[in-house]
Structure 1
Amino acid sequence: MSEETVEIKNHREAIEEVIDQIRPALQRDGGDCELVDVSEDGKIVFLRLKGACAHCPSATYTIQYGIEQVLREMVPGVERVQQVM
């Protein structure tokens, strides 16, 4: 495994760990989220909201001011979270 592959894997694992920390708050409201993908450069996280969160009018707010903000603070290199339907 190349060093670049290890870095990509570690970056994705860091994102998954942060999502696991966020997940209980979503589940309390009857929702959840799923990491779908991470862009090749690691800057964009593709996320699917599930359950009550999937159709919530506050979904955009949840992603931008909740999940994205936490990921940007805790995982270097993450710039944006893109919702996937």
Structure 2
Amino acid sequence: MSLIDRINEVVDKSIRPALQSHGGDVEVVSFDEESGVISARLQGACGTCPFAQETLRMQVEAVLKREIPEVSSVVRA
């Protein structure tokens, strides 16, 4: 399984359900394997929330870094 497939699997199983329960979602836009940086876009209620950056860091980045050591950070697309 490729890294992007692993990333999408973690997003689908561990991140997306929590965001969707609050009326939001997340889209993985790209992954740079050399730097380990994921570009992601929060959508729905999460995209316009004043805490969107915190959600991206505490929810999305923390889970992905814990599950996939090759991920160094998640930035807003």
Give the TM-score band, short-chain normalised: over 0.9
Q: CA RMSD in A?
A: 1.2
Q: What residue in structure 2 maps to residue 79 of structure 1?
A: 72
Which stretches in structure 1 are left out of the alignment for 5+ residues? 1-8
Counterparts of 1:42 and 1:20 in 2: how far apart (Å)? 23
Q: What residue in structure 1 maps to residue 45 of structure 2?
A: 52
1:11 and 1:42 in contact (8 A); partners too: no
For residues 13-57 of structure 1, give each alpha carbon's deviation from its aligned partner in whole angstroms, at most 9, with x where no partner exists.
010011102101100100001110001415000101000000101
* Residues 1:10 and 2:2 are matched in the alignment: yes
Counterparts of 1:77 and 1:54 in 2: how far apart (Å)? 26
State the number of aligned residues. 76
- TM-score normalised to the size of structure 2? 0.92
- TM-score normalised to the size of structure 1? 0.84
Which stretches in structure 2 are left out of the alignment for 5+ residues? none
Percent identical residues: 41
Runs of 4+ residues over 4 Å off in structure 1 = none
The structure with more helix, counted as a fraction of residues:
1
